[in-house]
């Protein structure tokens, strides 16, 4: 099955999204005798991105929104691995796979690049660290868990300001995925709220922020207006003509100067090229690989590109008009895949004259609004409301590849019509190190909080104030770059902190408690450093707020 027949050409497909999968599928079907196809993807499944907002809302399981590549692609060799680099001269690709991380070299006769794009929020200070995104299954899980834990915490919050912040949810960007995400998240919250006795609907604020002056810019204006009205009816604040400026862990700042206290920012903006793709050394424009109308990479033989990563002209002289290039949608990627397969097979057989330029007219646009409502513009017919929503579901059902996947999804949808929302909050491991931004004036800790990790100041300034009558500890200290809070967890497992405030805009590196303790205890340089430090600054003890009750360590979920 995986044997390579020397008469056949080896086609290597990089990326298992819409572009890569449909190209590989077509090749395997039409080129059985001509080519051997291998597809490399970072995960062992294909992600149906349009369904991710519904996964985030818990309406469907994540496994309903993905299809295992091996089951989807019969006749194609599937390899779960990370592409690390391409050597076009040697016609080889380096991949690293598995926990052993041995780099493996794969050679090709024909190469297809369909690696998609990534989220690039670097233009917005604080957003890369504090915004949730919506590209992968893990993102949808994270958003869902985040929203539910905000509700759990709000239900027992002690300060009204904290409660308000926990119950404010901001979605940035109102394209397809922003609109669907805000609709689904809003529906989840409003269905869930009745199980939280201390949270009422009036406590909740859900905002959709869009820089353009209307939402759904790729839709006809009347449909977009209908969508905006529907979202408002559901209680969502729709803010257009306003961009995002920056974010911290406690707020988002808009270009109109407004500062919205929130712990939840979902960014659906900022598509950018992957580092790997940038490093390939190919001609790029607008962050995409420039190809000719037949989807070949100019200047290189036997290299093709399609999907979001490629800039495919729809005319001979496209110039700088974005409309003259194929848009970055699943619909187009699928058609590109078919055409690319035909072109590649013609080329392999030496029929270069049979290569055809890519041409396709969109069949229309569909966007769900969350609560059994949608907007649709199909073959020129415009539809809104419940029927548009049914059409949306029908369309995706027909579109999702694989019979089993279809059946699973249909059953789940039918079931959901009779079911209350699923509120299960399954937490993954939080990342052990991360960067946190604080704005001048932000309270990092209130007195008495139990420290959850080690905080290292990278830039800016924090002020620490300890005032503890019980332990007779009093202290005011400025913390600048290189200073830290939390080292005393080494001597006092349940260490509580004093008041910590940001005196300036500050950036901090956070290292989670368990990971910090292991490293600091076991690594001699660090242990020596911290022992001296604690001796010098605190007289060797881990004083500070003694926890009430017993001092045993609260037991956490095991994680290894």
Ligand X SMILES: Cc1cc2nc3c(=O)[nH]c(=O)nc-3n(C[C@H](O)[C@H](O)[C@H](O)COP(=O)(O)OP(=O)(O)OC[C@H]3O[C@@H](n4cnc5c(N)ncnc54)[C@H](O)[C@@H]3O)c2cc1C
Any alpha helices (H) in 474-512, and if so which ranges?
none
Residues in contact with a copy of itself, counted by CB under 8 A, come to a total of 122
Spatial distance between the Cα atoms of 117 and 120, rounded to a whole number of angstroms? 9
Spatial distance between the Cα atoms of 543 and 560, rounded to a whole number of angstroms? 31
- Tell me whether residue 353 or residue 536 sits nearer to a copy of itself (CB atom): 536
Binding of a copy of itself at residue 492 (CB under 8 A)? Answer: no
Site string for ligand X, 337-356 (x = CB under 6 A): --------------------
Spatial distance between the Cα atoms of 95 and 115, rounded to a whole number of angstroms? 14
325 CB burial (10 A radius; 0-12, 13-18, 19+): buried
- Which of 26, 290, 331, 339 is in the footprint of ligand X by CB under 6 A? 331
User: Count of alpha carbons within 13 Å of 395, Cβ hemisphere only?
Assistant: 21
- Which of 137, 182, 345, 400 is in the footprint of a copy of itself by CB under 8 A? 137
Least separation in angstroms between residue 289's CB and ligand X is 11
Instruction: Transcribe 112-159 into DSSP letters.
Output: EE----EE--TTSTTHHHHEE--SSHHHHHHHHHHHHHHHHHHHT-SS
Any alpha helices (H) in 328-477, and if so which ranges?
330-348, 386-399, 403-416
Least separation in angstroms between residue 111's CB and ligand X is 13
Least separation in angstroms between residue 197's CB and a copy of itself is 4
Q: Which stretch of DSSP H or E encloses residue 165? A: helix 160-166
**Residues 441-480 within binding reach of a copy of itself (CB under 8 A):** 446, 448-452, 456, 458
DSSP state of 78: E
- Which of 18, 22, 45, 48 is in the footprint of a copy of itself by CB under 8 A? 45
Least separation in angstroms between residue 106's CB and a copy of itself is 10
Least separation in angstroms between residue 459's CB and a copy of itself is 10
The option from ligand X, a copy of itself, none interacting with 296 (CB < 5 to 8 A, set by class) reads none
Q: How far is CA 359 from CA 294, 313, 326, in A?
A: 10, 9, 9
- Tell me whether residue 471 or residue 559 sits nearer to a copy of itself (CB atom): 559
User: What are 510's two structure tokens?
Assistant: 């956070």
Binding of a copy of itself at residue 34 (CB under 8 A)? Answer: no
- Which of 223, 330, 348, 464 is in the footprint of ligand X by CB under 6 A? 330
Cross-strand partners of 40: 14, 79
Instruction: Name which of 423, 428, 435, 433 is nearest 147 in CA terms.
Output: 423
User: What are 319's two structure tokens?
Assistant: 């110039």
User: Do residues 468 and 474 make contact, with C-beta atoms less than 8 angstroms apart?
Assistant: yes
**Residues 393-432 within binding reach of a copy of itself (CB under 8 A):** 404, 407-408, 411, 415, 418-420, 422-432
Spatial distance between the Cα atoms of 54 and 62, rounded to a whole number of angstroms? 9
The residue range among 11-19, 76-84, 174-182, 372-380 that interacts with a copy of itself, by the rule CB under 8 A, is 76-84
User: Do residues 168 and 235 make contact, with C-beta atoms less than 8 angstroms apart?
Assistant: no
54 CB burial (10 A radius; 0-12, 13-18, 19+): buried
**Residues 504-543 within binding reach of a copy of itself (CB under 8 A):** 509, 511-512, 514-515, 518-519, 522-526, 529
The option from a copy of itself, ligand X, none interacting with 300 (CB < 5 to 8 A, set by class) reads none
Least separation in angstroms between residue 17's CB and ligand X is 2
The option from a copy of itself, ligand X, none interacting with 176 (CB < 5 to 8 A, set by class) reads ligand X
Binding of a copy of itself at residue 164 (CB under 8 A)? Answer: no
> Which residue number places its CB atom closest to ligand X?
17
The option from a copy of itself, ligand X, none interacting with 15 (CB < 5 to 8 A, set by class) reads ligand X
Binding of ligand X at residue 183 (CB under 6 A)? Answer: no
Helix (H, G, I), strand (E, B) or coil at 223: helix
The option from ligand X, a copy of itself, none interacting with 116 (CB < 5 to 8 A, set by class) reads ligand X
Least separation in angstroms between residue 308's CB and a copy of itself is 15
The residue range among 100-108, 294-302, 311-319, 388-396 that interacts with a copy of itself, by the rule CB under 8 A, is 100-108
**Residues 30-69 within binding reach of ligand X (CB under 6 A):** 40-43, 49-50, 52
- Which of 30, 135, 463, 514 is in the footprint of ligand X by CB under 6 A? 135
**Residues 263-292 within binding reach of a copy of itself (CB under 8 A):** 274-276, 279
- Tell me whether residue 117 or residue 544 sits nearer to ligand X (CB atom): 117
Spatial distance between the Cα atoms of 448 and 497, rounded to a whole number of angstroms? 5
| 264 Cβ neighbours under 8 A, 6+ residues apart | 132, 146, 147, 150, 168, 169, 170
Spatial distance between the Cα atoms of 211 and 204, rounded to a whole number of angstroms? 23
The option from ligand X, a copy of itself, none interacting with 387 (CB < 5 to 8 A, set by class) reads none
Spatial distance between the Cα atoms of 391 and 528, rounded to a whole number of angstroms? 66
Given the rule CB under 6 A, which residues bind ligand X?
A: 15-20, 40-43, 49-50, 52, 82-83, 114-116, 134-135, 176-177, 274, 276, 307-309, 328-331, 333, 555
């Amino acid at each position: 099955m995986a044997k390579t027949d020397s008469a056949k050409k080896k086609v290597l497909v990089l990326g298992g999204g819409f572009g890569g999968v449909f190209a590989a599928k077509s090749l395997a079907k039409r080129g059985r005798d001509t080519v051997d196809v291998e597809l490399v993807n970072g995960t062992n499944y294909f992600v149906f991105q349009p369904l991710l907002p519904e996964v985030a809302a818990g309406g469907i399981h994540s496994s309903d929104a993905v299809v295992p590549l091996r089951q989807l692609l019969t006749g194609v060799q599937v390899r779960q691995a990370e592409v690390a680099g391409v050597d076009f001269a040697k016609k080889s690709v380096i991949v690293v796979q598995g926990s052993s991380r041995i780099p493996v070299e794969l050679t090709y006769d024909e190469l297809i690049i369909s690696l998609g794009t990534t989220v690039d929020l670097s233009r917005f200070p604080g957003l890369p660290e504090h915004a949730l995104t919506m590209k992968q299954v893990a993102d949808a899980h994270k958003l869902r868990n985040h929203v539910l834990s905000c509700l759990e915490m709000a239900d027992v919050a002690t300060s009204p300001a904290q409660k308000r912040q926990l119950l404010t949810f901001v979605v940035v960007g109102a394209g397809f995925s922003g609109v669907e995400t805000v609709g689904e998240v809003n529906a989840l919250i409003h269905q869930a709220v009745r199980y939280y006795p201390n949270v009422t609907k009036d406590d909740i604020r859900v905002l959709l922020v869009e820089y353009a002056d209307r939402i759904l810019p790729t839709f006809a204006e009347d449909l977009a207006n209908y969508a905006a009205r529907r979202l408002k009816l559901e209680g969502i604040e729709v803010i257009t003509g306003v961009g995002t400026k920056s974010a911290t862990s406690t707020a988002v700042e808009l270009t109109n100067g407004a500062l919205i206290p929130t712990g939840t920012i979902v960014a659906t903006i900022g598509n950018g090229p992957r580092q790997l793709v940038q490093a390939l050394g190919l001609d790029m424009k607008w962050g995409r690989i420039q190809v000719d109308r037949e989807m070949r990479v100019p200047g290189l033989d036997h290299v093709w590109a399609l999907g979001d990563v490629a800039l495919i002209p729809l005319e001979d002289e496209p110039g700088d008009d974005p409309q003259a290039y194929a848009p970055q949608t699943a619909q187009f990627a699928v058609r590109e895949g078919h055409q690319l397969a035909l072109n590649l097979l013609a080329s392999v057989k030496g029929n270069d004259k049979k290569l055809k330029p890519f041409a396709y007219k969109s069949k229309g646009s569909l966007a769900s609004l969350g609560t059994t409502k949608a907007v649709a513009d199909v073959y020129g017919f415009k539809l809104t409301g419940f029927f548009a929503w049914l059409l949306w579901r029908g369309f995706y059902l027909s579109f999702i590849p694989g019979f089993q996947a279809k059946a699973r999804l249909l059953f789940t949808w039918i079931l959901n019509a009779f079911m209350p929302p699923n509120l299960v909050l399954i937490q993954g491991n939080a990342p052990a190190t991360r960067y946190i931004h604080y704005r001048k004036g932000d309270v990092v800790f209130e007195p008495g909080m139990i420290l959850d990790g080690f905080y290292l100041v990278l830039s800016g300034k924090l002020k620490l104030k300890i005032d503890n009558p019980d332990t007779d500890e009093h202290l005011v200290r400025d913390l600048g770059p290189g200073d830290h809070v939390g080292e005393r967890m080494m001597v006092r497992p349940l260490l509580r902190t004093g008041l910590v405030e940001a005196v300036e805009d500050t950036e901090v590196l956070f290292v989670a408690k368990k990971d910090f303790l292991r490293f600091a205890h076991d690594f001699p340089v660090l242990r020596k450093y911290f022992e001296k430090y604690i001796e010098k600054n605190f007289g060797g003890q881990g004083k500070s707020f003694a926890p009430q009750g017993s001092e045993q360590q609260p037991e956490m979920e095991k994680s290894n």
